[in-house]
Structures are given as C-alpha cells and as structure tokens.
Structure 1
C-alpha cells in the first residue's frame, strides 16, 4: 500500500503514512479536518498492524454515513506504563477530552476493545464530553446488514491457501479480555458471522481466556506460549478451521505463539485482505500522541498535531520512549494462567 494522507479530526493536523514510516505535514499542507461530529478511532494496534484495513474501513464507514472524520491518536492506555504515569495520564486525559469538546465530536466509533474502554473512561471524567457516544465497530457494521457469508469466507480461505474440512470453513471467535464484562465486540462479531460458520469454544464471551499478550509483556514467555496454544487447541476441539479475533494484538499474539489453527482478524475477512502477521514488527512502531519538542516528548497539548511514535528507525524525539511503553500489553488479563 502506498502513501496515504489522513486529516486528524481531533488535532486538526495531517499525517502521511507509508508503511511503517510517517510524516507530519507542515501547516501549509494541512487541510481543515477539524469539526467532525462522528469520528472513526482505529487505535494504535490497527494503525500499526493493519493500515490497509484501516483505510478500507474508514472508506466504508464514510460511505455508510456513519463517520465524517478520523483520528489517529493513541487512546493513551500505554502511558500508564511510563515512569511518570501519575502525571502523564491525567494530562493526556484532560487534553483528549478538551480536544473532543472543541472539535464538536458527539460520537466515536472504536475499532479496538482496549481503546473502547479507555476512551470511555477518559470521557467520563469531564461533564462536557461524558455524554459523547462511544460505539464499537462490529456492531456498527452489523447494523447495516454487513455479513460474512459462507462464500466470502470460503473464497478468503482458498485464496490465501488456508485449509478447511467441510463445505465451508468454520470459525471460532477468540473474545478479547477488555470486552469480557460488556461483550459488545463479542456480540458484534457474531452478528457478522453467518450462523452455520460459527462454532463456540468452551471458554467464550465472559469466560474467554487470555491470548497470552500480558504474560509476554510481563516477561513470561512460557506462560504466553502456553496460553496461546491453549486457545488454538480449544478452537480445534470445537471443530473450528480458524480462529477469528476482534483485537489486533490478539491476532498477532495467537499467530506467533500457536500453530494449531490459522488466525485472522474479522476485518481481514470483511475487507478480503490478509495481513502478514509473521512479517509485522514485534511492538507498536507508531503512537500518535503529542507534538515532540526540545528532543523529548511533551504531554501538554494537542494543538500542534502530533505524534509519539517511530518509523523503522526511531528519531531523536521518539527515542525517549521507555522499553515498557513499547512492550506494554495491549490486552488485559492475568499474566499467569486464567481459570
């Protein structure tokens, strides 16, 4: 995929993405994207792992009349792993809420379970934006009658050389830890999958088991591998030909740490575009937060547009990122086995 320019509705800046490299465009090149009422919020994991899918989904949502803007901001969850999180997190929360209010945003469509929980949490602190609706992407798509029919799934499997046993592939959903309590992504993705294609694992929805992301981030590779393998084996026992995820981090983790079943994010199936999970970098390379100044990251405003991320080779401004920020978990759950 070539260079794509996005106008950020919450920072009023333009960002050009080209693979894992990015460029913040100068003021003369910026367009006026500020003032969107309904914003697509893909989140860092989608930006980093699946930019082609992000572009297709944004176009889809725009065509459906569901959004009139996009923001590439990080939700800020990873700031809690910074050494001075007690200062950074409240500052980011304040600036994020103020940006939403000033842009006049009334609705945010989120693609990531972690972002959904974090964005809602941040907005709840500020009465000016506490009533902004945060709605999850799979439920928005399902409401428009979009569905993964057997023929579409069959074609995807065959085109990508993925084997299946019956007349059409069967899919088991790996539910994300942050969605356990509310179950919006769980409901939404199942609404998209034709009934005959779906099989349920023993542990699903509220009882779903962690993919192993947190164990990996906590420096417990054996536990991470064990948890991932358990999910693959459970899916196989349920009769699935593939594991479907709603979380990009889960997709990456399960693809890397188990080989019992092929793994795919549901957007890969919807957009008919396979992500090369094995070829992706091991951590988030791009995190768009605040403007970097004076050779360090500043968390004092969004007005200049912004990033705190890195291309394939980090620059001086972004080199201050702590190892914990890059390797921090993007899925919640126990670092050890979850019963």
Structure 2
C-alpha cells in the first residue's frame, strides 16, 4: 500500500524514481479506506532531505499512510525554502485539537546544547505532552530520544566527550518483541550523535524494554511496555551518503572529526560509502506501523483515549 502525500511535494518525484508506491491526494480521495494518520515533526535543518528519508521508510508497508509535516516554530530557515515550508508544513496550533495514529520526532543538530538553551524547548515539551493524549505511538529519533527520556523519565542530559559517528553492529535482545520481528540476531545501523545512551543507565533509571544494543554505541532501540513510546538512538533513515556529508561538513569547519566507523571501504574517505543498514531500517518502520500503530490505534480517532491502551 502507498503513502499519501501532497501532490507537489518534492519527495514524491524522488520516491517514484525509486519505484516506491506514492499516492497523490487526488487519487487517495476516491478510496474508501481509513489510512493511518502519521505526523512528522521535522527538527532537522535540511527538511526536504530528511522528510524524503523518513517517507522512504514509511512507504514499505501494506498500510496506507497519510502523512502530515509539522514545523516547530515560525523562524526562517537557512536551508529550506520558505515556499516549501509554507506549502507543506503545518503549525502545531492547526493540529493540536486532532488525534493521530503515529508521531515521528526527528533528530536535531543540538547534541552539545543543553535542553534549557534550546530555543524551542518549551514548545517541544508541549508537543510531547500533547502526544500522550492525542497519539497512539510516538517514535523518538536520535536527539529526540534524549529529549523524550528527559520528559518521560526526567533523565538529565548525558553527553559523550567525542561524537559517535559510523555504522555499528547491534544485538537483538528480545527477538519475539513485535518491533524486532524479522530482525537478524545481529544487524547494522548508523549513529551520529553526542548523546550517551548506555545500557546500565537506562536499565537503572527506566522501566523500558531494551530491545537492541551495541557494544560500542550503547542502546539503539527501546520501548515502553505499552509500545506507545519508541526510542531509536541512531539514524535508520540515513541515506548512504549522509554520514559522508556530515563528515565533510565538520571537516570543512575545522572540527577535525573522526572518520565514521565501519563506513568507508578500507576506512578511506576517498572511497564511496554504501548503505549496509537499509533492510533493517525498512523493517523497523514497517514493524512500528503495524504492531505499535495499526494494531493498537482505535478505528475512530475521535474516540481516542489513553484507556484504549494497556500494558502487555
């Protein structure tokens, strides 16, 4: 089944060129089926690139998914045309009285910034609190996972001395958990963050199900018992060249970044990198849509209530 996005969204041409089933709004309006309503709060600077990456993963599902894009505030963007933001992104005030099946909160380049110094922190807290009453399942990605842990568990910010960057091996801890169905015992996933998510720290301070970890990168995937809050500390949505672009950017700014681990062939940045995590990225998102969203959400979103959800 396709994802439904605005007819003129730039990502639609990219996805169609990759033979991904994208349904325009005009065609979807003729179908008598209830699509899943998924909201994406895009905190990344390059919004067109990021929305395309997430839409690619959301498209690999038998479910029809109705996507809406949300921006955090009205500040002008240096990397995304204002016309694009005005045409395709909504303000929170326009959706706050509605219910959604799923919410994705992306990462943000704020790894070295304290929460209280994030200009939109209070607004982000408002949206995360709102999601408790209006969203079936929320997916927190990378920096958003750290922000979500602060909100839900009051965990202080933990920052690594050096940036974690590269593609790391992970181990599945609960192979029969719905989010891990179909996963190999070990798999690869990219990370790009300063945040520290050690296994001991989360085990000692939360009641989360720890689903996948890396010996080098710490916890990769964790979830609340009711599957309404999913924390992904890496970037399964990244394209093959995303880590390379970040490395070149940091290098050009004089930051002397480490070469991303297990990424370039022969560990040489002159060699073209390739994606070794794509299959598990798609599987993670299709599992989330099916088992955490579709299987739990009420058919009539107008009757959404936290009482609909019980812990397993």
* TM-score, reference length from structure 2: 0.36
* Structure in which a larger fraction of residues adopt helix: 1
